[in-house]
Amino acid sequence: MAIKSALRAATALCLISAVSVQADTITIATVNNGDMIRMQGLTDDFTSKTGHTVEWVTLEENVLRQRVTTDITTKGGQFDIMTIGMYETPIWAANGWLVALDDLSADYDAGDILPAMAGGLSYDGTMFAAPFYGESSMIMYRTDLMEAAGLEMPTAPTWDFIKDAAVAMTDKDAGVYGICLRGKAGWGENMAFLTATSNAFGARWFDENWTPQFDSDAWSETLNFYIDLMNEAGPPGASNNGFNENLSLFQQGKCGMWIDATVAASFVTNPNDSTVFDKVGFALAPNTGKGKNSNWLWAWALGIPAGTDNEGAAKEFIEWATSKDYIELVAANEGWANVPPGARQSLYDNPEYQKVPFAQMTLDSILSADPNNPTVDPVPYVGVQFAAIPEFAGIASEVGQEFSAALAGQQTAAEALEKAQALTVDAMEAAGY
Amino acid sequence: MARAVTTKRKSINTALAWAVGLLIFFPILWTVLTSFKTEAQAIADPPIFLGFDWTFENYSTVMERSNYMRFLWNSVIIAGGSTILGVIIAVPAAWSMAFVPSKRTKDILMWMLSTKMLPAVGVLYPIYLLFIRLGWLDSRVGLVIVLMLINLPIIVWMLYTYFKEIPGEILEAARMDGASLKEEILYVLTPMAVPGIASTLLLNVILAWNEAFWTLNLTAAKAAPLTAFIASYSSPEGLFYAKLSAASTMAIAPILILGWFSQKQLVRGLTFGAVK
């Protein structure tokens, strides 16, 4: 009898400990974007399904980058999942800092992830981060102002058309500017836009021997065109404008066109925040007829740092947050316009989502960006609006300051390009290229 | 002979003081006002000053999304703990420098101050690695010690300046009456330096409360103070200024109230020894 009781107690203890082993608490570092906030609000669904609980660490984007980079390079082990992008993923994977996501369950249907996204988040053919949402860039324009200017936006406009339309739509006395573009310095701010734009003008960061190319005619044409356009039809103080500043201007009806992240479409068409929600059209980012558009490709993705104690629970979370079911969950709670876009083909096959006005243009923009072949001439790097090498962020931040100063009128485009070339040559030589 | 102050001159001085005060306070006032607006009103151009429908929605959203009390409690422990620990170490150090200086005292004081001149990010990696070894990452103990070390030079300098104003003869008299070193510091020196110690405490609590480099880089979910709470509402893709303002107001409110109630003590301490 005593032995039986002891066995029962031992079995019960084993069961209790087994349950407690399975129910982990995972810590996730993320940014404060709308889609991430919605994910935090729906975490109870994950907990009810798996028993795991989640601790969120939400930080501003630049702080997050510094924070997670410090932690992963020192193996600090503070996070079980990190929100990272297409720039970090291949670099960190090459260093062995991320767990490969090559054993996700069959239900997850990894084959449904858009090839551009899966490719940008892979290293050596293996995916190391799963896309939570993906984005490209496109033109958002005021249909009423375009009509008043007597113009019609083509599906794939050229930069020359955009310049003519911007000038025609500008009414400075009424505080309406034909075009709003990023001018704030930063590798993820003005340099994301200008690098993507330079691709359409036939420019590139480096030639096949890693020689910087800011002394090329194509870069000169890119920067001069951008500065002339902004001087003629852009808002005042544009060198301080990033995504949020331009979003604010567009929502208040002060921009005729805005070329920026596709994710902005849900903001500018939201009647609660936007005064022009019912007058917005969409088109592909402009080209110059050289075979490349000016749009970028980016994904906010979830990756697991190597060495985490909670790898199993972390993988379960990633499967949950980037699954088809999660998209259905968001649609049921917040509506189809608010589901995380740009990650899965099945979303764009869904008739309900096809009714969302910006859905098709978002997909077309994503599909037209090729990170493995981003420029007119061949390049040795991967990435549309960046070059996926560790030195890029530092160099591009400095180059961004020179270009922003040129836009502000503190120096000429030629001077900015000369400085950009010199500092890039120095940095690349110091890095051993 | 004191110069007579006319009523007109007094009025001008008062108006000028109010104007400067309001100018300095305006960003805080604007943050508080924005926290009661909708997101659309927060970005309105021209800006809306008072003519808007006041809403508490941002506060309820922030309270719903974040565990404010946990962030607040962490701030209280980290700011309070680091300041108290710093003062306990700095009082004997400042006493020895003020009353029994050696020929190297000035150099030591300058060296201590020079540690404040290094950009914090320069030592991020060494400290991070040290914290991993000691198991202090995302712990309040680790942050108390780091913030104490960061503010220690300021605490020592402030106390040293206050102690220098106290005549050494008084301490000498206490010693002649048989007071031990501990009694001399505790019962003679400290009561005379209370205004100075109080203002040192207050200033360092404010500095530690607002410190946003180490508190963001050495914490994750458990020990994060109010600086991390504010950072969590800053967004690169989305206009959440009203919610950010609500979070900022909630983060600065406790320290603002503390500063308001202790302003007399603070001013008295900061001007201690200014007029002889």
pLDDT tens string A224-272? 999 999 999 999 999 999 999 999 999 999 999 999 999 999 899 989 8
Residue B269 lies in a domain: no
User: Whose CA is closest to A225, among A201, A242, A246, A205?
Assistant: A201
The pLDDT value recorded for residue B52 is 87
Residue B114 lies in a domain: yes
Q: To which H or E segment does residue A164 belong?
A: helix A159-169
The Cα–Cα gap between B14 and B18 comes to: 6
Residue A58 contacts B, CB cutoff 8 Å:
yes
Both B228 and B118 in one domain: the answer is yes
| pLDDT tens figures, A117-157 | 999 999 999 999 999 999 999 999 999 999 999 999 998 99
Read off the pLDDT band of B43 (50, 70, 90).
Answer: confident
Read off the pLDDT band of A8 (50, 70, 90).
Answer: low
| CB-based contact A59:B228 (threshold 8 Å) | yes
| Nearest Cα residue in chain A from B215 | A67
Whether residue A169 is predicted with pLDDT greater than 70 in this model: the reply is yes
Q: Work out the number of other CB atoms within 10 angstroms of the CB of residue B79.
A: 28
Give the pLDDT mean for B70-99. Answer: 94
CB contact under 8 A, A61 and B137: no
Residue whose structure tokens are 């190597």 = A306
| CB-based contact B256:B209 (threshold 8 Å) | no
Give the pLDDT mean for A70-81. Answer: 94
Q: Which long-range contacts (CB under 8 A, 24 or more apart) does A60-68 make?
A: A60/A31, A60/A32, A60/B231, A60/B234, A60/B235, A60/B236, A61/A31, A61/A188, A61/B236, A63/B216, A63/B231, A64/A29, A64/A30, A64/A31, A66/B217, A67/A29, A67/B216, A67/B217, A68/A29
Both B169 and B80 in one domain: the answer is yes
Alpha helices, DSSP H, located in B100-210: 105-114, 124-134, 140-164, 168-176, 181-183, 190-192, 194-210
The Cα–Cα gap between B98 and A340 comes to: 64
Residue B153 lies in a domain: yes
Choose from A40, A78, A137 for mutation: most chain B CBs within 10 A: A78
Q: Phi, psi at residue A204, to the nearest 5°?
A: -155, 160
The pLDDT value recorded for residue A351 is 95
Six-digit token string for B91? 């009082």
The Cα–Cα gap between B89 and B153 comes to: 11
Pick the last residue of a domain from B38, B59, B80. B59
Residue B80 lies in a domain: yes
Per the structure, the complete domain to which residue B38 belongs is given by 7-59
CB contact under 8 A, A59 and B228: yes
Whether residue B66 is predicted with pLDDT greater than 50 in this model: the reply is yes
Task: Quote the percentage of chain B above a pLDDT of 70.
Answer: 96
Residue A18 contacts B, CB cutoff 8 Å:
no
CB contact under 8 A, B236 and A244: yes
Both B16 and B73 in one domain: the answer is no
Choose from B237, B239, B244 for mutation: most chain A CBs within 10 A: B237
| pLDDT tens figures, A414-423 | 999 999 999 9
| Nearest Cα residue in chain A from B39 | A273
Read off the pLDDT band of B1 (50, 70, 90).
Answer: low
- Cα→Cα distances B142→B130, B131, B136, B227, Å: 10, 7, 5, 16
Residue B140 lies in a domain: yes
CA distance B216 to chain A (A): 8
Both B171 and B191 in one domain: the answer is yes
**Interface predicted TM-score of the whole assembly (ipTM), two decimals:** 0.83
Q: How many domains does chain B have?
A: 2
Residue A261 contacts B, CB cutoff 8 Å:
yes
Both B20 and B126 in one domain: the answer is no
| pLDDT tens figures, B131-162 | 999 999 999 999 999 999 999 999 999 999 98
For residue B213, give the 3-state DSSP assignment: coil
The pLDDT value recorded for residue A226 is 98
CB contact under 8 A, A32 and B217: no
Name the residue among B132, B235, B237 with its Cβ closest to that of A74. Answer: B132
The Cα–Cα gap between B251 and B29 comes to: 14
Residue B92 lies in a domain: yes
Whether residue B234 is predicted with pLDDT greater than 90 in this model: the reply is no
CB contact under 8 A, B239 and A248: yes
The pLDDT value recorded for residue B276 is 43
The Cα–Cα gap between B87 and B114 comes to: 19
Question: Which residues in chain B touch residue A55, judged by CB atoms under 8 angstroms apart?
Answer: 220-222
CB contact under 8 A, B235 and A56: no
The contact set of B with A (CB < 8 A) is 39-40, 43-45, 65, 124-125, 128-129, 131-132, 137-138, 216-217, 220-222, 224, 228, 231-240
**Residue-wise burial string across A132-170, b where 16 or more C-beta atoms lie within 10 A, e elsewhere:** bbbbbbbbbbbebbbeebebebeeebebebbbbbbebbb
Task: Quote the percentage of chain B above a pLDDT of 90.
Answer: 58
Q: In CATH, what number is assigned to the domain containing residue B139?
A: 1.10.3720.10
| CB-based contact A284:A361 (threshold 8 Å) | yes
CB contact under 8 A, B220 and A55: yes
Alpha helices, DSSP H, located in A23-158: 34-41, 43-50, 61-73, 88-94, 115-120, 143-148
In the A/B pair of chains, how many CB contacts fall below 8 A? 99
Least confident of A185-189, A342-346, B174-178, B267-271: B267-271
Whether residue A307 is predicted with pLDDT greater than 50 in this model: the reply is yes
Residue whose structure tokens are 């994503």 = A366
Query: Is the bond preceding residue B126 a cis peptide, omega within 30 degrees?
Result: no
User: Whose CA is closest to A182, among A260, A113, A249, A120?
Assistant: A260
Residue B105 lies in a domain: yes
What's at A397, amino acid-wise?
S
Give the pLDDT mean for A54-78. Answer: 91
CB contact under 8 A, A244 and B238: yes
A176, β-bridge pairs: A171
The pLDDT value recorded for residue B208 is 95
Question: Which residues in chain B touch residue A264, judged by CB atoms under 8 angstroms apart?
Answer: 237
CA distance A32 to chain B (A): 5
The Cα–Cα gap between B238 and A244 comes to: 6
Q: Work out the number of other CB atoms within 10 angstroms of the CB of residue A309.
A: 11
CB contact under 8 A, B232 and A55: no
DSSP string, B34-69: HTTS-HHHHT-SSPPSS-S----HHHHHHHHHS-HH
Read off the pLDDT band of B93 (50, 70, 90).
Answer: very high
Name the residue among B43, B221, B231 with its Cβ closest to that of A63. Answer: B231
Name the residue among B39, B131, B237 with its Cβ closest to that of A33. Answer: B237
The pLDDT value recorded for residue B260 is 85
Average pLDDT in chain A = 92
The pLDDT value recorded for residue B61 is 93
Whether residue B108 is predicted with pLDDT greater than 70 in this model: the reply is yes
The pLDDT value recorded for residue A19 is 44
What is the β-pairing status of strands A255-261 and A177-180?
A: parallel
CB contact under 8 A, B231 and A27: no
The pLDDT value recorded for residue B130 is 96
Whether residue B275 is predicted with pLDDT greater than 70 in this model: the reply is no
Higher pLDDT, A122 or B263: A122
Both B178 and B99 in one domain: the answer is yes
Read off the pLDDT band of A383 (50, 70, 90).
Answer: very high
Write down all domains in chain A, each with its CATH number in brackets. Answer: 2-134+297-354 (3.40.190.10), 136-296+379-430 (3.40.190.10)
The pLDDT value recorded for residue A6 is 56
Phi-psi category of residue A11: left, alpha or beta, with phi > 0 → left and psi -120 to 50 → alpha: alpha
Both B223 and B168 in one domain: the answer is yes
Question: Which residues in chain B touch residue A33, judged by CB atoms under 8 angstroms apart?
Answer: 235-238
CA distance A412 to chain B (A): 29
Whether residue B7 is predicted with pLDDT greater than 50 in this model: the reply is yes
| Nearest Cα residue in chain B from A43 | B65
| CB-based contact A346:A156 (threshold 8 Å) | no
Both B93 and B197 in one domain: the answer is yes
Both B228 and B93 in one domain: the answer is yes
The pLDDT value recorded for residue A14 is 47
Residue B77 lies in a domain: yes
| pLDDT tens figures, B160-193 | 998 988 888 888 898 898 888 888 888 888 888 8
Is A430 exposed, middle or buried, given 0-12, 13-18 or 19+ CB atoms closer than 10 A? exposed
| pLDDT tens figures, A189-229 | 999 999 999 999 999 999 999 999 999 999 999 999 999 99
Both B126 and B171 in one domain: the answer is yes
Whether residue B95 is predicted with pLDDT greater than 50 in this model: the reply is yes
The pLDDT value recorded for residue B6 is 82
CB contact under 8 A, B221 and A74: no
CA distance A202 to chain B (A): 29
Both B47 and B175 in one domain: the answer is no
Average pLDDT in chain B = 90
Both B77 and B203 in one domain: the answer is yes
The pLDDT value recorded for residue A273 is 84
CA distance B124 to chain A (A): 8
The pLDDT value recorded for residue A20 is 46
| Nearest Cα residue in chain B from A300 | B237
Residue B187 is given by DSSP the state I
Name the residue among A29, A34, A74 with its Cβ closest to that of B128. Answer: A74
Question: Which residues in chain B touch residue A41, judged by CB atoms under 8 angstroms apart?
Answer: 65
Whether residue B269 is predicted with pLDDT greater than 80 in this model: the reply is no
